[in-house]
Amino acid sequence: MFIKGYRKPNIKDEHLTGMVTNWELDNLPLYCMSLDDYERRLKKLVDPSCEDLITGSQIEEVFKDHYAFKDIIYEGSLVRSLMLNPIFKKDESS
Protein backbone atom coordinates (compact mmCIF):
# COMPACT_ATOMS: atom_id res chain seq x y z
CA MET A 1 0.00 0.00 0.00
CA PHE A 2 1.06 3.56 -0.35
CA ILE A 3 0.07 6.74 1.42
CA LYS A 4 -1.13 9.82 -0.45
CA GLY A 5 1.90 11.68 -1.75
CA TYR A 6 4.21 8.72 -1.28
CA ARG A 7 5.77 7.26 -4.38
CA LYS A 8 6.38 3.54 -4.61
CA PRO A 9 10.07 2.69 -4.63
CA ASN A 10 11.57 1.41 -7.83
CA ILE A 11 13.07 -1.88 -6.65
CA LYS A 12 15.63 -3.63 -8.81
CA ASP A 13 16.47 -6.97 -7.28
CA GLU A 14 19.43 -8.49 -9.13
CA HIS A 15 19.76 -11.48 -6.79
CA LEU A 16 18.78 -15.04 -7.60
CA THR A 17 15.53 -14.46 -5.71
CA GLY A 18 14.70 -11.33 -7.73
CA MET A 19 11.86 -13.20 -9.42
CA VAL A 20 10.09 -13.36 -6.05
CA THR A 21 10.44 -9.62 -5.54
CA ASN A 22 9.11 -8.92 -9.03
CA TRP A 23 6.20 -11.31 -8.50
CA GLU A 24 5.28 -9.55 -5.23
CA LEU A 25 5.38 -6.12 -6.88
CA ASP A 26 3.20 -7.27 -9.77
CA ASN A 27 0.77 -9.60 -8.05
CA LEU A 28 0.11 -8.66 -4.45
CA PRO A 29 -2.96 -6.43 -4.43
CA LEU A 30 -2.18 -4.36 -1.35
CA TYR A 31 0.84 -2.93 -3.13
CA CYS A 32 -1.43 -1.58 -5.86
CA MET A 33 -3.92 0.31 -3.70
CA SER A 34 -3.48 3.50 -1.73
CA LEU A 35 -3.92 3.31 2.02
CA ASP A 36 -6.63 5.99 1.74
CA ASP A 37 -8.63 3.90 -0.72
CA TYR A 38 -8.25 0.70 1.33
CA GLU A 39 -9.40 2.49 4.49
CA ARG A 40 -12.31 4.19 2.69
CA ARG A 41 -13.61 0.87 1.40
CA LEU A 42 -13.48 -0.77 4.82
CA LYS A 43 -15.06 2.21 6.57
CA LYS A 44 -18.11 1.83 4.33
CA LEU A 45 -18.77 -1.48 6.08
CA VAL A 46 -18.43 -0.37 9.70
CA ASP A 47 -21.72 -0.61 11.55
CA PRO A 48 -21.84 -0.29 15.35
CA SER A 49 -25.15 -2.18 15.47
CA CYS A 50 -23.29 -5.25 14.12
CA GLU A 51 -20.47 -4.78 16.65
CA ASP A 52 -18.32 -3.57 13.74
CA LEU A 53 -18.01 -7.11 12.36
CA ILE A 54 -17.65 -7.49 8.61
CA THR A 55 -18.61 -10.60 6.65
CA GLY A 56 -16.55 -12.18 3.90
CA SER A 57 -19.22 -11.39 1.34
CA GLN A 58 -19.11 -7.71 2.34
CA ILE A 59 -15.34 -7.63 1.87
CA GLU A 60 -15.72 -9.34 -1.49
CA GLU A 61 -18.34 -6.83 -2.60
CA VAL A 62 -16.39 -3.72 -1.59
CA PHE A 63 -13.08 -4.77 -3.17
CA LYS A 64 -14.12 -6.62 -6.33
CA ASP A 65 -14.28 -3.46 -8.45
CA HIS A 66 -10.59 -2.61 -7.95
CA TYR A 67 -8.36 -4.01 -10.70
CA ALA A 68 -5.87 -5.52 -8.24
CA PHE A 69 -8.61 -7.28 -6.25
CA LYS A 70 -10.77 -8.52 -9.14
CA ASP A 71 -9.91 -12.17 -8.38
CA ILE A 72 -11.48 -11.93 -4.92
CA ILE A 73 -14.66 -13.40 -6.39
CA TYR A 74 -12.91 -16.66 -7.30
CA GLU A 75 -12.69 -19.38 -4.67
CA GLY A 76 -9.06 -20.35 -4.07
CA SER A 77 -7.52 -17.23 -5.61
CA LEU A 78 -4.54 -15.59 -3.94
CA VAL A 79 -6.44 -12.35 -3.34
CA ARG A 80 -9.36 -14.17 -1.72
CA SER A 81 -6.99 -16.23 0.41
CA LEU A 82 -5.25 -13.08 1.63
CA MET A 83 -8.34 -10.97 2.29
CA LEU A 84 -10.57 -13.68 3.77
CA ASN A 85 -7.94 -15.56 5.73
CA PRO A 86 -9.33 -17.27 8.87
CA ILE A 87 -6.78 -15.40 10.98
CA PHE A 88 -8.96 -12.29 10.58
CA LYS A 89 -12.09 -13.98 11.85
CA LYS A 90 -13.33 -13.25 15.35
CA ASP A 91 -12.72 -16.11 17.75
CA GLU A 92 -16.17 -17.19 18.89
CA SER A 93 -14.83 -18.98 22.00
CA SER A 94 -13.70 -15.78 23.72
- Cα dihedral 5, 11, 17, 19 in deg (nearest 10): 80
For the chain, the domain total comes to 1
Q: What is the residue range of 55's domain?
A: 18-88
Q: Residue 13 falls within a domain, yes or no?
A: no
DSSP 52: T
Q: Residue 80 falls within a domain, yes or no?
A: yes
The rounded percent of the chain whose pLDDT value lies above 90 is: 21
* Span 44-53, average pLDDT: 83
1-43: per-residue pLDDT in tens?
455 655 566 667 777 877 777 777 766 777 778 888 889 998 8
**What does pTM read for this prediction?**
0.67
Least Cα distance to 26 among 15, 36, 13, 40 occurs for 13
Higher-scoring residue by pLDDT: 61, 25: 61
Could you give the 3-state DSSP secondary structure of residue 26?
helix
